[in-house]
Amino acid sequence: MISFRGFGKTYGKQQAVRNLDLNVRAGEVVALLGPNGSGKTTSLKAAAGLVKPTTGVVLVGNPGQPSSEPDARRCLSFLPQRVAFQDSLSGQEVLNFHRQIRGVDAAHAAAALGVASLNGAVARAVSTYSGGMLQRLGLAVALLPDAPVFLLDEPTAALDPDGLEAFYKVIAKSRADGRAVLFTSHQMGDAERLADRFAILVDGVLVADIAGREMKDRLAERGNMRLRVPSLDASTLAGLRVMAPDAVFTDGELVVRGPAGMRPRVIELILARGHQIVDLVAEDGRLDDLYREMVGPQREPR
Ligand SMILES: Nc1ncnc2c1ncn2[C@@H]1O[C@H](COP(=O)(O)OP(=O)(O)OP(=O)(O)O)[C@@H](O)[C@H]1O
Ligand SMILES: [Mg+2]
C-alpha cells in the first residue's frame, strides 16, 4: 500500500533522507520515529506526493503508483504537521468543504468530527481557534476521506486525553478496515499503543524497522524487578548475579534487570536462602529507553 524504494531527498546540500526502503501493508499501522530533523515529515510528504524524490520512488495504493500520480493521491489522506485553513471559515464550513471535495457521506464525517470534539466551537471562525483546536480540526479533516492510506504527521501532538481515546479507536478501526497507516510521533506511549511496527530514522537513515512483537520481546528483556528485602547476605547477592549480572542491592531495595522469565527463579533463590520479601514491583522496559539507545547520544537538529 505504501512502499518507499530507495527514497532519498536532498534540499540544496542538505540530505534530509537517504535510500529509504520501507513498506506499510494493508491493515498495518506503522510509527515513524526519530529526533527532530531526522526526515520524518520529508518522507511523509513524499508519500503524499508533495515532495519530489531526489532518488528512488514512493509507491502508494494497490497496485502501487508513484505518489505524484493523481490515482495515488486519490487513495490517500494526509495530515500535515502544521495545518492551515482559511481564517474566515468556521470549523463546520471547513469540514463541509473537505467532505464535499472527497465525496464523503455525512455519517462518516460525524465520526471524524468525534475525534475533533471541538466542544461547540465548530460554528466559530477558524481564526478564533487555539493551536490545539486547529490541530484537532486538521485531524478531523484528515480522517474524513474513506481512503485506504492514511499519512499522519504528529496526529496526537495536540490531543487531550478524550481526543486521544477517540483517535485510538479510529486507528483500531482503520486497521480492522484494512487501511495502511503511517504516522509520526514524539510520544513513545502513543507509538507503543498504536503501532504494529516501528521505523526509526536518524539523520535521514532508517536505523530500525521492528515489528511490534519483536519490540515487546526486546522491552521484556530489559524489564526491571524491584524487591524490598530487609536484608541480603553477600553470598545470595553473588548467587543472584550469576543470573542477573547487574543486580544491585541498596538500602533494602534489590533491583534485578532482565527478562520476565527469570523473575520466579530470583524470588525462589531469595526465599530459599531464608530472606524475606516484603514488597515487589515488576515493570517491562520502556520504549523511550530503547529508542534512546537506538538513536544514540542527543544532538542538535541539523
Ligand atoms: N523545504 C526545505 N528546505 C530545506 N531543508 C529542509 C526543507 N524541509 C526539510 N528540510 C530539512 O530536512 C531535514 C529533515 O526535516 P524533516 O522536516 O523531514 O524532519 P522531521 O523528522 O519531520 O523533524 P521534526 O521531528 O522536527 O518534525 C531537516 O534538516 C530540515 O532542516
Ligand atoms: Mg516533522
Residue of the nearest CA to atom 30 in ligand 1?
A: 37
Closest Cα to atom 5 of ligand 1:
11
CA distance 61 to 50: 16
The number of the ligand 1 atom at minimal distance from the alpha carbon of 302 is: 29
CA distance 233 to 74: 68
Q: How does DSSP classify residue 186?
A: S
CA separation for the pair 128, 122 (Å, rounded): 11
Closest CA to 147 of 60, 65, 255: 60
Q: How many CB atoms lie within 10 A of CB 197?
A: 22
What are the φ and ψ backbone dihedral angles of 290, each rounded to 5 degrees?
A: -65, -40
CB 205 within 8 A of CB 32: no
- The response to whether residue 185 sits with its C-beta less than 6 Å from ligand 1 reads no
Q: Whose CA is nearest to atom 28 of ligand 1?
A: 37
Distance of CA 207 to the CA centre of its chain: 16
- Residues near ion ligand 2 (Cβ under 5 Å): 40-41, 81
Angle between helical axes of 161-176 and 131-143 (0-180°, round to 10): 10
Distance (Å, whole) CA 115 – CA 118? 8
Which regions of the chain are under pLDDT 70? 119, 298-302
Give the mean pLDDT of the chain: 90
Give residue 300's pLDDT.
60
Q: How far, in whole angstroms, is CA 32 from its chain's centroid?
A: 6
Beta pairing class for 55-60 and 29-33: unpaired
> Which alpha helices (DSSP H) does the chain contain, by range?
40-47, 70-74, 91-101, 106-116, 131-143, 161-176, 188-194, 212-221, 234-243, 263-272, 287-295
Strand, coil or helix: what is 182? strand
Q: Say if residues 150 and 118 touch (Cβ distance below 8 Å).
A: no
Residue found under cell 487501511: 179
Q: Output the residue whose Cα is nearest ligand 1's atom 24.
A: 36
Q: How far apart, in whole angstroms, are the C-alpha atoms of residue 80 and residue 69?
A: 19
**Which amino acid is located at 81 in the chain?**
Q
Q: How far is the CA of 25 from the centre of ligand 2 (A)?
A: 22
How far away, in angstroms, is 33 Cα from ligand 2 center?
Answer: 10
Cα–Cα nearest to 3, from 18, 20, 15: 20
Q: Which of 211, 206, 226, 219 is nearest to 267 (CA)?
A: 226
HSE value, Cβ hemisphere, 13 Å, CA-based, for 87: 4
**CA gyration radius, the chain:** 24
Taken as a whole, the chain contains a residue count of 302
> Which amino acid is residue 52, in one-letter code?
K
pLDDT of residue 117: 73
